[in-house]
Each structure stands twice: as structure tokens, then as C-alpha cells.
């Protein structure tokens, strides 16, 4: 996912110890993120991240809090909704022994196991990218404004195009 709001951290900076980072994009960055995610607006977004060395890479943990403005899939009204989520990601440099096999080997899927680490293209970790990715996963693509119910009433009339044939047969008897 490419985006305009970028907060790069170099992998070698983690040698100094654990990093605590607070992310609070300004209004201009939130506007661009909202557009990228298909939102009406993004009135608030903040994230608190902790970066620690992990193997030859990094472990990123933390959480984000956001307020998103969407359009209700039922009433088409605009509405705001609070979202929050946990962030837990591991990333390693390319060529790391911990990196997953590139498009080749068989993969055993264990839903209870942690996700495999991301492979970084270079020594740069884009923290903003991880926050946007986790926010995107929390957004309901068919959001419903609180209190709005979808009520379906089947159309009155024949159930199928062949229902009219029943009346012809009934008339002949």
C-alpha cells in the first residue's frame, strides 16, 4: 500500500534500545489517508507504538485510536464512528533466516501461530504504513449508522415467471 503519510525508522536505530513513538498525523495527512481508505473524513487518528529488536529485525507493538466518517450503506447518511485496534507486527530485512520462503515452498497454516514476519525492502521501517494498514482492517466496508435497520419486504406478486402457468392449469380443470 502506498501512501503520503510516512514515518520512517531505520532498523539500525533499534540498537540503542526500545523506542516509544507517538504518531499524530496533522489534518492534511488525515485528509490524504481518508481519501486513500475511501472514507468521507478522518477527524482523529493517533497511535502509540513500541519498537524492540527481534532476532535480526524488529517487533512493533502498540495500538491506534481513530474516528472515521463514513457513509451508511443502508440510509446513505454520513456518520462518525470510533475505531481502535492493537498492532503487533514483526519485520526482518531481506535475506534474513527468519524471512518466510519466497513463493516456492509449501506453507503450513496454523491459525493459532503468529503471522510470519514481514520482509523489509531495505533498512527502513514505515511505521505510518503499519498504522494505516491496521486501521484499514478495522473499517467496515458496509458500515451501518447506529440505529439504522435494513428492512426487506419481498415484492408482491408471482414468486417466479412460471407462477402464471399455475393459473392457466387451474383454469383448465
Tell me the whole-structure pTM to 2 decimals.
Answer: 0.80
**What average pLDDT does the segment 124-152 reach?**
93
pLDDT at 173: 47
pLDDT at 2: 54
Output 38 or 105, whichever has higher pLDDT: 38
**What average pLDDT does the segment 103-121 reach?**
79
Q: In the predicted model, is pLDDT for residue 172 greater than 70?
A: no
Of the pLDDT bands very low, low, confident and very high (cuts 50, 70, 90), residue 70 is very high
**What average pLDDT does the segment 51-75 reach?**
95
pLDDT at 171: 55
SS (HEC) of 79-127: EEEEEEEEEEEEEEECCCCCCCCCCCCCCCCCCCCCCCCEEECCCEEEH
pLDDT digits (tens, 9 = 90+) for 40-53: 999 999 999 999 99
Domain boundaries along the sequence of the chain: 8-172
* Residues facing 12 on adjacent strands: none
Q: Residue 85 to residues 18, 48, 105: CA-CA distances in angstroms?
A: 21, 11, 32
Question: CB neighbours of 146 closer than 8 A, spacing ≥ 6?
Answer: 79
Q: In the predicted model, is pLDDT for residue 162 greater than 80?
A: no
Amino acid at each position: 500500500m502506498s501512501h503520503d503519510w510516512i514515518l520512517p525508522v531505520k532498523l539500525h536505530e533499534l540498537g540503542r534500545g526500545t523506542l516509544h513513538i507517538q504518531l499524530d498525523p496533522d489534518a492534511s495527512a488525515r485528509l490524504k489517508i481518508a481519501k486513500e481508505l475511501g472514507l468521507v473524513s478522518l477527524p482523529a487518528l493517533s497511535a502509540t507504538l513500541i519498537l524492540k529488536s527481534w532476532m535480526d529485525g524488529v517487533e512493533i507493538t502498540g495500538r491506534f485510536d481513530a474516528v472515521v466518517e463514513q457513509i451508511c450503506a443502508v440510509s446513505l447518511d454520513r456518520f462518525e464512528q470510533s475505531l481502535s485496534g492493537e498492532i503487533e507486527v514483526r519485520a526482518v530485512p531481506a535475506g534474513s533466516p527468519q524471512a518466510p520462503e519466497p513463493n516456492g515452498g509449501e506453507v503450513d497454516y496454523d491459525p493459532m501461530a503468529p503471522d510470519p514476519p514481514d520482509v523489509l525492502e531495505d533498512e527502513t521501517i514505515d511505521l505510518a504504513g503499519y498504522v494505516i494498514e491496521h486501521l484499514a482492517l478495522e473499517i467496515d466496508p458496509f458500515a451501518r449508522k447506529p440505529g439504522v435497520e435494513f428492512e426487506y419486504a419481498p415484492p408482491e406478486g408471482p414468486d417466479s415467471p412460471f407462477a402464471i402457468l399455475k393459473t392457466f392449469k387451474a383454469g383448465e380443470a
